Structures are given as structure tokens and as C-alpha cells.
Amino acid sequence: MYGSTRVDQLQFSVDHHLTTGTFREGIWKSLFQQIIPKKFSIEQSVFIVDSKGHVSNEVDLAIFDEQYTPYIFRYGNIKYIPIEAVAVVVQCKSTNVYEDKLRKWVNSVDELRTSMKSVARMYTSISCGDLDPKSLKSGMTQTATRPVKILCHTKNETPAGIRGFDIVIHPRKGKLNVTIPKEKDNHLGTWHKELNHFGEQLTDRHFTLDKGTITEYTLEKYRIRQDQKPNKEISLLSLTFQLNQLLMLINNPLLFPHLAYVEMFNRHLDEI
């Protein structure tokens, strides 16, 4: 489990800030490697792109599914990952947790848009995307995904005003502290809509949810505590179940829209 040794490593400091930053990112990376399924890959220091040509700010850690996107666009040592494949983005900070910079980072991720312009053979037929959300048929389970956004830092407390992150993780008093804003208010149905239909104004007819169960559960129910006392929580185990529950909600990633990226490259070639 997440003990004092790893907390000490996160708080380790050397004179060269770049070396320290890379070192800490590696520690956070090893943490996520412990708790996410093997189907996911983790890349360090990448950029996320979409088929419209938008590029995020640098992402310290990206957790992505290579099942339908078994490659990364590379330009020298710079790595670009298509937004359709990305399940989690992680921003790693030390004690320099500044709201304005973090807001710009969050916005650069939220501005990316997935495409449904994909063609793939399914079990019963050929699936063709590029659907108009206004004409979606009842039962569409995924139309516009976005990654889970996580902030990892080493301050003892997270400053007020930090918004836009789904999960905030930091060491406190020798233990891991995990904060999920509105975890008691947002039930799994809310998470499903946010992660699978991001930015779309859809009605309930577009969802096939068992409202008798999914609306009863919040991520707060996934906390594991000895004697149900907050100060006796097994934080890493709680995080494991909470994060993996979110990943299960986006378990079927959008099929990769090859045609959309072909059109993007052609547009850029025409501009050269």
C-alpha cells in the first residue's frame, strides 16, 4: 500500500527543478501503474490532440487505451496522443499549485473534441459513426468522451479555488489524501453523462441506464475505512476502486476515427 516511503520520495527535493519534476512524475506514474488495469498504457510528458488540429498543453501523465489506437503520433521526441484514446490525464505539481496556470491547463484539455467519424466491423454489422447528436437514437451509450482529470501535488493542503479536476491527490501527514469534489452529490449517472456525452445537451431518451441503481451510488460510497472513521481510511485502496469505477463507465472507447485524422492532415498539407 501507499506508505510513508513513497510519500517521502514525493517530497524529496534537489537543486535542479527539472530533475525533481521528472523524478516526481515517475513516482506518480508508478502509483497509477499499480492501480489501473493492464489494458491501459501510461506515457509521460505528452500532448493530446484532436482531429480539428487542437493541441493541449503538455500533459505530465496520460493514461490511454491502445485497443483501438495502437500508436502514437511522434515528431522526434515529442509524443501526441489522439483524444479518442485517452482515459485519464494527470497534472503533477510540487508546491507551486497556482489556480490561473491550472485553469489554462484544464481548458486546453476541455477544448479537445472527440470525433465519431469511424468505420469498423462489429459483431453483427459495420459500425459507421459521424452521427448528429440531435438525431441520436435511443440507447447511444457514447458520443463525446473526455478524460478523467487528476491533479497530483505535494502541498499539505490544496489551495481553495482549484477547479476543473475530478480527483486531487497529495500526501498529508505521511499518508495519501484523495479529494473528489462533489463526490457525495454526483451519482454514477452524472459521471456517465459527463464522461461519455461531454459538452452535449442530451435528454434522458439518449441513455439506457438502470435508474434504480446507478443513481443510488456516489464515489463517496467507494471509500474504505477501518471502523468507518475518516482518519482510518486506506486511501490507495479507495482510490483504486473509485478510479477504476470511472474507467468502467468509459470502458468502451470511441472507435478510432481514421478518416477524421486523414482530413486533418490533408488540411494542414494544403496550408503548407
Q: What pLDDT, on a 0 to 100 scale, did the predictor assign at position 5? A: 55
Q: pLDDT digits over 21-40, tens only?
A: 677 899 999 999 999 998 89
Q: For residues 272 and 269, give the distance between their C-alpha atoms in angstroms, rounded to a whole number.
A: 5
Neighbours of 4 (CB within 10 A): 11
Q: What pLDDT, on a 0 to 100 scale, did the predictor assign at position 141? A: 73
The residues that bridge with 89 in the sheet, in sequence order, are 62, 149
Residue 54 burial (C-beta neighbours within 10 Å; 0-12, 13-18, 19+): middle
Q: Which three cell numbers stand for residue 142?
A: 457514447
Q: For residues 156 and 38, give the distance between their C-alpha atoms in angstroms, rounded to a whole number.
A: 31
Q: What pLDDT, on a 0 to 100 scale, did the predictor assign at position 208? A: 54
Q: For residues 23 and 18, give the distance between their C-alpha atoms in angstroms, rounded to a whole number.
A: 8
Which residues of the chain are modeled with pLDDT < 70? 1-21, 70, 129-140, 201-212, 228-231, 253, 272
Residue 68 sits at φ, ψ, to 5 deg, of -110, -10
Q: What pLDDT, on a 0 to 100 scale, did the predictor assign at position 216? A: 84
Q: What pLDDT, on a 0 to 100 scale, did the predictor assign at position 70? A: 67
pTM (two decimals) = 0.86
Q: Which three cell numbers stand for residue 75?
A: 515528431
Residue ranges of domains in the chain = 4-118+134-267
Q: What pLDDT, on a 0 to 100 scale, did the predictor assign at position 67? A: 78
